[in-house]
Structure 1
């Protein structure tokens, strides 16, 4: 069976930097890089192997049969025996990669002339090799994403050293992909099978790769010090000045390595940039011209297909354009009236109809007033904006009502100031975006009363006070932004407090795990009464866990707790003739046991009963079976040290995960902290957003918070994987730009796609 990745011997055929024909300066720089990398590699591999052995031990403990357990223990034994060979082999492979940067790459087969396979190559590919290659690509890609800019700059500098074009992330000698492949190639010395190698790669990603961004940054700094492209900088492509947002720091998150290109035309803008009003009018004019070629019914179908209101029938007889002041006065009267019903959708078409009906009624027999083309386009565009904006807001929610009340004031703003369409930093746009985004929080059960009151106050002032003074929106936007910043700081503090608590629980769980493992080693090979063994595993495990948590495993307290467990086990060991303890020695030991149990929350009576049973294994105290049963029931009912009953109740105790659920679990483990998830809350499909604030790869626990940083749930990762596979939970893809910017992008896209959605056969 051929390997998916070639594994050259690390001892034979590997090049060294000194032996290569390289310029002195290049050789000196590469040696410095090797020294820099060697320190990082040593730390990463040592941590990886230590964690790898622990994972093998845990898997062995959780095995379902003896054969599986023996296999894990055998793998652990092989790793312990051969781990000293891995680091030298890895460093040899690393030096070989650096030393051969000027070697000619192997020529690829000419295009159109594939090399015919030999008979020996005609073999099926083992699916496990495909799994290995997939895992390697995924780990390398994730590490590359975390340090994309630095990897890009390092590839440019390595191109100078190699006197060749810049390296990409796949071929960079100390790039994330090459480092992963080196581990895969050199792990043969451990003598482990494919499944163990896959586990090793996962542990390597968890233990070593988080330090890769800092390492590659140090490598770039070293090359700069040596004069290799010291002034190289990355300048991202930015939007044209007319479409630049005051929140421009988001451009720093653009994909590093993007090549300089011409700015796209305004009508191809994406969310985050805005088309100019003239361009939007051109698109609307094209829509009218195209609709004019069709009959009325197809035209209405076509308008509905792109979420546009159907064209209104022009009035019969003479018409008179409505002056700007008259239109503003009519809208001001509407603004002072009660908000239109149907807050779950847009009211802009109704607003236009009401204004025209109002003005036509006032005109009487005179020429019918009609909107200027520019004003008509403005109102239609605002209608489209709200139509797309409301798609992200739950119908009949408080946010929907707030947005409905703002429609008339914002129509008036856009009629007066056309920069509303092209300037993302327009005060009215910023206020609208803040209300839309923060108003969505009010749809949750745990809504913040102060936020709802502040949003209501801002909208009330906008509706009551706006009268051609755009400065009002600046004041309202600043006031709301300040309040939101205060809430964001409070949310950050609250979230940090919950994360610290979750990490404390994890430390407690790890301490309990270590205490349980140590206690089992003490009890191994001893024949203890079942009741004594149960007391040690429950009560004394808590005592040992607290000592490990507070003082560490190398402390005197930890050694004393182990010593007491050994004395109890020796005294109760039937095989060793143990008959319990007696005399002053027993009294002193009981006192120490009672004191230790009191520290982990046991009451005096419970601590005394447990201490007596642990030091009187032969039953000399005369307690009957009923008292032992009563004590056992009490201990079973009480909460263990650091135990979270709520999390335990939500633990997934179902069948093993299937293939789809395992894929969801791997996706979960690769997601960064801060990812938003949507949880289904009922059968109607309503969802709420929760933020993955923290998770533990050791215990499998996750912590979710809401927008205010308050804890809303702790779930096991297996449970989440099942829920994701069933569609009840889904991660939310990161979206560029604000909610309002995305709505504008959707408007532009709808207008651009208009011609492509003409019904077939609808021509004149």
Structure 2
């Protein structure tokens, strides 16, 4: 127990482990605690003060309103919760420090994150918990790497104070893992997005974990003043438990201590360590290791792989990749591996696990429905080069911007729209991917910069190709949108005309013909140019209504006087409107002659006969023409709009309705031809969908209901989202498979 800021040791022995504190050092430990009490609020204040600026910067650079709002909301929440988070964090760290001296190293809660996860904790990589866990493990591993000498010294000093008790990995209450675990617990109830949490953890790494050196120096000084200065062996780097695991050849020295600028060394081996743990759980427990086995050196293994790499075309020609067992057998038979005196040669565990992982990754690639058979076979030839990359650099599994991984993802993403009909020759996509694969097979030894070079070349090709595709796609969308807008305009005009004529009953043929053959186009032009909300549209509709009214019987004197005053204005507006659409002059003259006869009849108090002043045959011809126009309008309207649904909507109709723009489909025609098409545009009016190929050319246009029929019949199959890179999908799938396998092994059976 502690009283105020002083630890009460209650004698010299305490705790379940029976740790014994050396006599006379209670004050020294309390002095160290006071340094910690002073350090924590200083660093947390710095963290929160800096966080406000960092989150504001992220909000300013946010790609959309939703993300921006999330950052601003996080700033508000952090201001509100700051005191509670700081208090919980301080208590967590001090609690670990106090329990260490009263109950021993084992009493420090073993909830500090590390590089491995149990299968239950892991779940699928898509889990937010995994992302958060990797952020914590990254900062912890980086801190361990940066302060390994200080931590090793503190372990030795604390062990001395506890009469030789072994501290053990993660047992030191001042190790980065202790701070990371306490901060994660203090953040547990904070209701912000994962993106915001990752920003906070990154800032915590800079302001707290990255600033531990002064604390360690001060504590070492206090202990040195008390005469506690055990000898630190020069081999500390090799034996220290704080050494970063899984150091790689990519920007790393032989000691594994150096990292390329901008890298996060803590994350380099996290995903691979997780895969190793799951592979271990998957293997039979009866496997044993013989002490007489000689393990293959990684350099010799890489040399053997280089030989296989140049022989790989024979395997890849059939679109097949070597499974892990075949790969091991092939490697162990190579002269580059050599033979042990005992005759027993084996591949080391880390390299052996890498072979398993890469084999599983390429099994996924060969089964990926997003790739055509030809593209699968082409990318499968990269199995051995990617295996060499992974042996050289374990960050291949965790770094999404790794040069080799980035190139593989770019080629796979571009290939999703490619089919055999696209062709393999010339300057097309297949030829560029084939060229890149060929250069890797012939040129790649251990220089990863080759992948950067190939990526830049491939990206430049894609940019050129996509510029042309974008122009073609926009043109196709504009044509389709224009067609739909015209059909919709015709439908609205037809509705307006029908409504107007139905209000007056029997309308003379000459007016019906004039409205449907002439004024129809006037209304259509105004609708397309100005819209239904415009003043011009309202005036034109009102004029049509007045035209029909003008030829209806006028029994009262006042009505006839009103008609007499209105006729000049009506005829003038009609003539101007029809001239605006270049209406046939002969038809206009005949129509106005017919109107004159009807207006005279109305002014006399009656209505002229249908045949008056007009040749009946001409009017019949005009009526037939009007019928053709209306038939065209009706037919186009029905074609653009979905027919009534006779059955209840099912999951395929829902899938068609929810399909996002940018989604790729594989369409199988009746003759067996396979076409890949992207949903480029969907109408907000009718729901009709426009599909284009990878060059932006129109492939199909179908109603939403028709798309549901395609999906239901199997004519259309949705391909994996191209927004999720191939390597990410492969890792997700593989981890899920290993997870399920591990949970059913004898050591991890599922609960019934």
Pick one of 365, 372, 392 that aligns with 1:389. 365
Aligned residues of 2:530 and 2:537 also touching (Cα < 8 A)? yes
Q: Secondary structure of 2:400's match?
A: coil
- What RMSD, in angstroms, separates the aligned Cα atoms of the two structures? 5.8
Contact map agreement 1:570 1:576 (CA 8 A) in 2:
no
Contact 1:356 1:369 in 2 (8 A): yes
Q: Contact 1:331–1:355 at 8 Å: present in 2 too?
A: yes
Alignment of 1:569-584 (within 5 A): 569-570=548-549, 573=552
Are 1:544 and 2:523 an aligned pair?
yes
TM-superposed deviation, 1:239: 4.2
Match of 1:631 in 2: 625
Matched-pair contact (CA < 8 Å) for 2:354–2:390: yes
Partner of 1:565: 544
- Are the structure 2 counterparts of residues 458 and 439 from structure 1 closer, same or farther at C-alpha, using a change threshold of 3 Å? same
Compare 563-572 and 678-687 and name the one that shifted more.
678-687
Q: Pick one of 285, 293, 297 that aligns with 1:290.
A: 285
Unaligned runs of 5+ in 2: 1-63, 85-130, 140-191, 203-244, 247-266, 599-609
Equivalent of residue 475 in structure 1, options 434, 453, 457:
453
Cα displacement (A) at 1:485: 3.9
Per-residue CA deviations over 1:345-376 (Å, capped at 9, x if unaligned) read: 43344444444445499979994754344333
Answer with 604-613 or 484-493: which moved more: 604-613
Task: Work out whether 1:691 is the aligned partner of 2:691.
Answer: no
- Separation (CA, whole Å) in 2 of partners of 1:482 and 1:761: 49
Which residue number in structure 2 is paired with residue 676 of structure 1? 663
Q: Tell me if structure 2 keeps the 8 A contact 1:284–1:751.
A: yes
CA gap 1:428/1:153 in 2 versus in 1, 3 angstroms = closer
- 1:715-730 matches, within 5 Å, as 715-720=702-707
Pick from 641, 653, 658 the counterpart of residue 643 of structure 2: 653
Decide whether the 8 Å contact of 1:706 with 1:712 is kept in 2.
Answer: yes
Question: CA distance change for structure 1 residues 593 and 529 in 2, over 3 Å: closer, same or farther?
Answer: same
Matching residue within 275, 278, 287 for 1:280: 275
CA distance in 2, matches of 1:344, 1:756: 32
- Structure 1 gaps of 5+ residues are 1-144, 166-235, 245-252, 294-313
Task: Determine if contact 1:274/1:745 at 8 Å carries over to the other structure.
Answer: no
Aligned to 1:742: 729
2:325 aligned with 1:346, yes or no? no
Confirm whether residue 622 of structure 1 aligns to residue 643 of structure 2. Answer: no
Is 2:656–2:704's contact at 8 Å kept on the other side of the alignment?
A: yes
Alignment of 1:489-504 (within 5 A): 489-504=467-482
Q: Distance in 1 between matches of 2:72 and 2:491?
A: 44
Give, in angstroms, the shift of residue 410 of structure 1.
1.7
Output aligned runs, 1:383-462, within 5 Å. Answer: 383-393=359-369, 397-443=373-419, 450-462=428-440
Contact 2:664 2:678 in 1 (8 A): yes
Shift, 1:433, TM fit: 1.5
Q: CA deviation at 1:478?
A: 2.0
**The residue matched to 1:340 in structure 2 has which SS?**
helix
CA deviation digits over 1:665-724, x for unaligned, max 9?
6x877x59636264653699989563353431x444344445554444433334445666
Shift of 1:462: 1.3
Candidates 486, 504, 507, aligned match of 1:528: 507
Q: Secondary structure at the match of 2:678?
A: strand
1:456 is paired with a residue of what secondary structure?
helix
Bigger radius of gyration among the two: 2
| SS of residue matched to 1:442 | coil
Task: Give the paired residue count.
Answer: 501
CA apart distance, 1:160: 10
Residues 1:573 and 1:238: Cα distance change in structure 2 (over 3 Å):
farther
Mean Cα deviation higher: 434-443 or 146-155: 146-155
CA contact (8 A) 2:278 2:739 kept: yes
The C-alpha deviation readout for 1:58-112, integer Å capped at 9, x for no partner, is: xxxxxxxxxxxxxxxxxxxxxxxxxxxxxxxxxxxxxxxxxxxxxxxxxxxxxxx
Deviation at 1:546, TM superposition (A): 0.6
Do the aligned partners of residues 151 and 427 (structure 1) sit closer, same or farther apart at CA in structure 2, a change above 3 Å counting? closer
Please, which of 240, 243, 250 is the counterpart of residue 135 of structure 2?
240
SS at match of 1:714: strand
Distance 1:459 1:292 in 2: 37
1:333 aligns with 2:322: no
Alignment partner of 2:504: what SS? coil
**Relative to 1, partners in 2 of residues 1:466 and 1:379: Cα closer, same or farther, differing over 3 Å?**
same
The separation in 2 between residues aligned to 1:393 and 1:739, in whole angstroms, is: 11
